[in-house]
Amino acid sequence: MEQIDQRYLVQQNKISDSETKPPVFAKVMRSKEGVFEGVSFIKSKDKASILTIEEAHQAIKWATNKKPNAHEYITKVICVGQ
């Protein structure tokens, strides 16, 4: 059985608030069948989705294309321990 490497979070900071407000983290939404449906950003790092690097890039791509104010944020992939 293949071992899945799941060690990443997607973190987002608002450019204008980067020094004053904490970052938010991606929570991936999936259908009952496990199909990727989208991303919401939440304050709780503990409740954020832990992702493979491919899933993290998929979440960033979705957020960049679907969120109208995506240009106001810096979105990056971080290791779980960061």
Tell me: the pLDDT tens digits for 37-80?
Answer: 999 999 999 999 999 999 999 999 999 998 888 888 999 999 98
Q: What is the pTM of this model?
A: 0.83
Which regions of 1-82 does DSSP assign to beta strands (E)?
Answer: 8-14, 24-30, 36-42, 73-79
Dihedral (CA of 74, 51, 20, 69) sign: positive
Is residue 23 exposed (0-12), middle (13-18) or buried (19+ Cβ within 10 Å)? buried
C-alpha span between 45 and 14 (Å, rounded) = 16
